Amino acid sequence: MNVSHVEHIGIAVKNLQESIQLYEIILGTSCYGMEEISDQKVRTVFFKIGQTKIELLESTDPEGPVGKFIEKKGEGVHHIAFAVQDLTETLKEVEKKEIRLIDRQPRLGAEGLHIAFLHPKSTGGVLIELCENPSIKK
Ligand code: CMX
């Protein structure tokens, strides 16, 4: 699949402001880039830790994916995002290996990345996001 690094780890939180304060203490750095992604029904912020980021996700709708996750499992790690160079090609490869895709085509995610999710039922219970940074040349 040619993953270059862990792009970010997504953490589902009930209250973004409270969690920002907590993670600023834990990580010793400030968050940036608060964004609402309306089609995903979430509000997000990031913390940069070297090449990787921590993404806090607060649901804007109890029926959205993060709202349903928190209702079922409570707050905690929600997904792991892997950076790949060519997302369209990677999705074709993954599909051939009979791993279930949530997104068959890349779509726009936070920070302008092209993203797609793999279904946790076919990845050992872990929601995996694949991302491509369109500003990095292939
Ligand atoms: N990690 C692991 N398992 C998860 C999960 C997660 N993040 N989210 C849901 N599941 C599991 C549920 O526990 C449930 O398992 P059981 O059947 O064993 O109880 C199963 O998946 C189905 O869950 P559901 O609550 O009935 O929800 P849906 O089937 O409607 O949706 C999923 C599940 C994964 C397809 C949906 O959450 C999704 O499309 N997620 C990808 C998009 C997303 O999460 N976006 C938010 C953040 C985006 C961003 O970072 O920009």
Q: How far apart are CA 8 and CA 120, in angstroms?
A: 17
Tell how far CA 113 is from the center of its chain: 10
Within 6 Å (CB) of ligand 1, which residues are found?
10, 37, 40, 42, 55, 57, 65-66, 68-69, 72, 78-79, 102, 109-110, 117, 119-120, 125, 127
What is the per-residue pLDDT for 138? 67
Q: Give the helix/strand (H/E) hosting 107.
A: strand 107-108
Intervals of the chain under pLDDT 50: none
What is the per-residue pLDDT for 4? 95
What is the per-residue pLDDT for 43? 97
Give every CB contact of residue 86 below 8 A, 6+ residues apart in sequence.
132, 138
What is the per-residue pLDDT for 42? 96
Query: Which atom of ligand 1 lies at the shortest distance from residue 109's CA?
Result: 51
What is the per-residue pLDDT for 110? 86
What is the per-residue pLDDT for 24? 97
**Contact assessment for residue 88 and residue 82, using Cβ atoms and an 8 Å cutoff:** no
Alpha-carbon dihedral sign for residues 23, 29, 35, 40: negative
Query: How many Å lie between the centroid of ligand 1 and the Cα of residue 67?
Result: 10
What is the per-residue pLDDT for 111? 86
Give every CB contact of residue 72 below 8 A, 6+ residues apart in sequence.
none
